[in-house]
Amino acid sequence: MDADEMLATTRAVRKRLDPGRAVPAELIRECVDLALQAPAGSNVARTRFVVVRDPGLREQVAAVYSDIYLNQYRDSDGYIGRVAARDADSQQRTARSADALERALHEVGTIVIACLDGVRLDGSPAFASASMLGGVLPATWSFMLAARARGLGTCWTTMHLARERDVAGILGIPFETVQQVCLTPVAFTKGEKFAPAARPGAEEVIHWDRWDDSKAGAPPLSGIARASAS
C-alpha cells in the first residue's frame, strides 16, 4: 500500500485481532528498527519497547488492564460509550469494540509497551512533558504504521497506566527512571482491508492564524478518561 493508504487505514484494531496466528519475533524487530527512525529530541533515542510474549507475564498484564477497565473505566463518565459524538451509532460500535479488547487482550500473543527511558514526567510542566513525550509518541506511531504494512493490527491504549507501578513490578521496569507511555496488542488481523474512519474535515479543525471560537471544540475529558486513550 502507498503511504496515504497506510496513514488513512491504520486503525485501532480490537475485534479483528487474530490471536490464533503467532507473530514472528523478526517482524517485531523490523517494526522497532523502523520506529527508531522517528525524530528524537536532542538526537537521543529514549524510546524503549518492552515486548511481552511470555504467557504468564501477558496474563498478569492483561489482568491489570481488565481490572481497570471493568472496575474504574467501564462505569465512568469517560467511558467511550457515554462520550457524545456526532454519530451515536458509530460511537456505540466503537464502545463494543473497546469492550472486546478487554476480553481479547488475555489471548493476544504479543503485548508491546512503549516507554520513555531516563526520566519520569510526573508533575512536570507542559513544556517538559511535550518535549520528552515528543520523542516517544512519533516512534510508537511509526511502530504501528510498520506493523500495519506487515499485516499486523495494533491499538494505542493507556488504560494500564492507572496502575503503572504494578505493571512495572510485573515486568521489571525501573519505575523511578522509566515511564510507560503506551500499551498495544500486536497480532495478525482477520482480513486485511480497513477503511478510513469518520473524522472531521480539515476546515473543521484548522484555525487560520488565530483561534476561531466559532468552531466547535472537543468535549473535555474527565476521570479515568484522562488516563486512558481507549
pLDDT tens for the chain, 230 residues long, are 899 999 999 999 999 999 999 999 999 999 999 999 998 878 778 999 999 999 999 999 999 999 999 999 999 888 888 877 777 777 888 888 899 999 999 999 999 999 999 999 999 999 999 998 998 999 999 999 999 999 999 999 999 999 999 999 999 999 999 999 999 999 999 998 998 888 889 999 999 999 999 887 776 665 544 545 44
Q: Which CATH superfamily is domain 3-227 in?
A: NADH Oxidase (3.40.109.10)
Residue 177 buriedness (CB in 10 A; 0-12 / 13-18 / 19+): exposed
Predicted confidence at residue 82, as pLDDT, reads 84
Predicted confidence at residue 89, as pLDDT, reads 78
Report the C-alpha gap between 193 and 100 in whole angstroms.
19
In SS3 terms, the chain reads as: CCHHHHHHHCCECCCCEECCCCCCHHHHHHHHHHHCCCCCHHHCCCEEEEEECCHHHHHHHHHHHHHHHHHHHCCCCCCHHHCCCCCHHHHHHHHHHHHHHHHHCCCCCEEEEEEEECECCCCCCHHHHHHHHCCCHHHHHHHHHHHHHCCEEECCECHHHHHHHHHHHHHCCCCCCEEEEEEEEEEEECCCCCCCCCCCCHHHHCCCCCCCCCCCCCCCCCHHHHHCCC
Every domain of the chain and the residues it spans: 3-227
Query: pTM higher than 0.95 for the full model?
Result: no
Q: Is 172 left (phi over 0), alpha (psi -120 to 50) or beta?
A: left
